[in-house]
Amino acid sequence: MASLRFTASFERDYRRLTRELQVRLDKSLRLLLENSFRPFLLVKKMEGFRDVWEARFSQATASHL
């Protein structure tokens, strides 16, 4: 089963999000764990990194996983 690991900077940035965005991100992360390739998550492997993926949960926000 897939798992997520968050960097300290991700956790810091997450705490700075509005509650509404935190809820949306939490939902997107649950969906990501269920099925990594849902088209609306816009998941792609980041170039130059091993096992680092990017998933967008809104047009303006990207999360590096």
Please report the pLDDT score of residue 19 as a whole number.
96
User: Do the beta carbons of residue 54 and residue 44 sit within 8 Å?
Assistant: yes
Greatest Cα pair distance, the chain, in angstroms, is 33
**Whether residue 63 has pLDDT greater than 70:** no
b/e for 19-37, b at 16 or more Cβ within 10 A? Answer: eeeeeebeebbeebeeeee
Please report the pLDDT score of residue 3 as a whole number.
79
Express each pLDDT in 8-45 by its tens digit: 988 999 999 999 989 988 988 888 888 766 666 677 88
CA triple 30-45-13, angle to 5 deg: 55
Please report the pLDDT score of residue 31 as a whole number.
82
Please report the pLDDT score of residue 59 as a whole number.
58
